[in-house]
Amino acid sequence: MRLGQLPDILATVACLILAWQLVVWLTGVPAFILPGPVRVMSALYDNAGLIMWHTLITATEVVIGLVLGTACGISTALYLMMSDRARRLLLPALVLSQTVPVFALAPLLTLWLGYGLASKIAMTVLIIYFPVTSTFFDGLRTTPGGYLDLARTLRSPHLSTLLQVRLPAALPSLSSGVRLAAVYAPIGAVIGEWVGASNGLGYLMLLANGRVKTDLMFAALIVLCVLTITLRFAVSGLCSGMTRWAGYPEQA
């Protein structure tokens, strides 16, 4: 996702808003079930301060979780590549861990870590850890054979080959994983807020729903979408710079 795609994205958003308004007009659905775009924008304007506060909380959870989850994923992939025993023991455990719905762990994380930021950050880390680990590990394993042959010819030590040959060649794969993580991270944070929180956009959406303030709930949802898209653009820019630095073509 690049800035050059921004006009296409805005055009798509405009079409969706128009379709939304047409549905409201044609069906005459009550506002407490489906408010129109104008009503939602009004709620967004009237509650701008409240929404901004909860957005900052969610953004903090997402960014910290994204950084920690990416760091853990990168470390795990490198360790798997360095150790045969780790591959025999950890790879089956990683695959097995995906049979447990991550969403089902949210109540346990809230019970263990409380209603503050910690449980939401942990949920975010869990939801992005496997995509980052698996994509980066696949990239490390599929280093072009010519690079490895040259390293063997030069008698490069295993660690030097990993860090100087395999790692740069795996950066495009890592970039793909981190881009996915940037989209999944807000989902993890909001799910954690739904289970138990006193702040954040997920909490605000539940609060608005309980008070039948559907327009406020939609406003919070729109802000969450904007937050996710902004994070995706930022991460995509960083990943593109990283792959260009490594000498690989820029990815979308």
Please indicate whether residue 147 or residue 39 has the higher confidence score (pLDDT): 39
Q: Range of 134's domain?
A: 36-245
Residue 39 pLDDT class (50, 70, 90 cuts): very high
Looking at residue 250, its pLDDT comes to: 54
| Domain membership flag for residue 108 | yes
Looking at residue 248, its pLDDT comes to: 65
User: 73-77, 132-136, 163-167 — which is least confidently predicted?
Assistant: 163-167
pTM of the model as a whole? 0.90
DSSP letters spanning 4-27: GGHHHHHHHHHHHHHHHHHHHHHH
| Residue 62 CB-density burial (10 A; 0-12 exposed, 13-18 middle, 19+ buried) | buried
Looking at residue 249, its pLDDT comes to: 59
| Domain membership flag for residue 30 | no
Q: What is the average pLDDT across 64-85? A: 94
| Domain membership flag for residue 65 | yes
| Domain membership flag for residue 100 | yes
Residue 1 pLDDT class (50, 70, 90 cuts): low
Looking at residue 2, its pLDDT comes to: 59
CATH code for the domain in which residue 119 is found: 1.10.3720.10
Cβ neighbours of residue 152 closer than 8 Å, sequence gap 6 or more: none
| Domain membership flag for residue 174 | yes
| Domain membership flag for residue 5 | no
Q: For the chain, how many structural domains are there in total?
A: 1
Q: How far apart are CA 88 and CA 81, in angstroms?
A: 11
Looking at residue 187, its pLDDT comes to: 93
Query: Tens of pLDDT along 99-114?
Result: 888 888 899 999 999 9
| Domain membership flag for residue 24 | no
| Domain membership flag for residue 220 | yes
Looking at residue 160, its pLDDT comes to: 84
User: Considering the chain, what percentage of its residues have pLDDT values greater than 90?
Assistant: 61
Residue 4 pLDDT class (50, 70, 90 cuts): low
Q: What is the average pLDDT across 24-40? A: 92
User: 12-16, 154-158, 212-216, 233-237 — which is least confidently predicted?
Assistant: 154-158
Q: How far apart are CA 51 and CA 215, in angstroms?
A: 12
